[in-house]
Amino acid sequence: MEAGTSGGYSLGARTAPRSLTLCDFVSHPLLGTISRAGGADLVLLCTNTMHRMADAVQDGVAIPLLHIADATGERVRAQGLTTVGLLGTRFTMEEDFYRGRLRERHGLAVLIPDAEERQVVHEVIYRELVLGQVRPASKEAYKRAIARLVARGAQGVILGCTEIMLLITQEDSPVPVFDTTTIHAQAAVADALAPVLAT
């Protein structure tokens, strides 16, 4: 599959110049064999939204999948927080695959922006951030969304899309922000090194 395409549809997005084999994880018949034969001990979906398919991916492999919401939920709980705001694609904010997991496995109350702000957050991701465009007006819109979440009781805000960290940093929020890209990568490294460090 070419970078920036998905099933023949141009996404306008970019991928790293060098990458591992890309495949349709849900239907690829050799996924489990490829991952195990390649020496993998862990599977990562390096995107929040595609965790919609996490259960199907996990069912297709014999090794564990490190869920991005679990790594993030653990980090949030480690800071003693119980209520968080969630920014991400419309799918991540509105569907239960992410919010439900944070609630059920980590005991977190998850707040999302209102419908109008969710649409703005979603469109900024797909029309700007995935294209490498970082606009001051969009930063201000996100900061307003964060402020409203905080006013509703959010003790922290999850940046639930891997591109949001291009736009929002800790300096833009009065409460802790949780960059899921970094959290997921750190958790993967910790898991990978755990057997080595235990010896």
Q: 111 pLDDT band (50/70/90 cuts)?
A: very high
Q: How many residues does the chain have?
A: 199
Catalytic annotation on 23?
Answer: no
| pTM (predicted TM-score) | 0.81
| Domain extent listing, the chain | 5-66+185-197, 68-180
Catalytic annotation on 161?
Answer: yes
User: The domain at 68-180 falls in which architecture?
Assistant: 3-Layer(aba) Sandwich (3.40)
Mind listing the pLDDT tens digit for each residue in 120-173? 999 999 999 999 999 999 999 999 999 999 999 999 999 999 999 999 999 999
Q: Which of 161, 162, 180, 181 is catalytic?
A: 161
Tokens of 126: 């797909």
* C-alpha span between 12 and 33 (Å, rounded): 31
Report DSSP state, residue 4: T
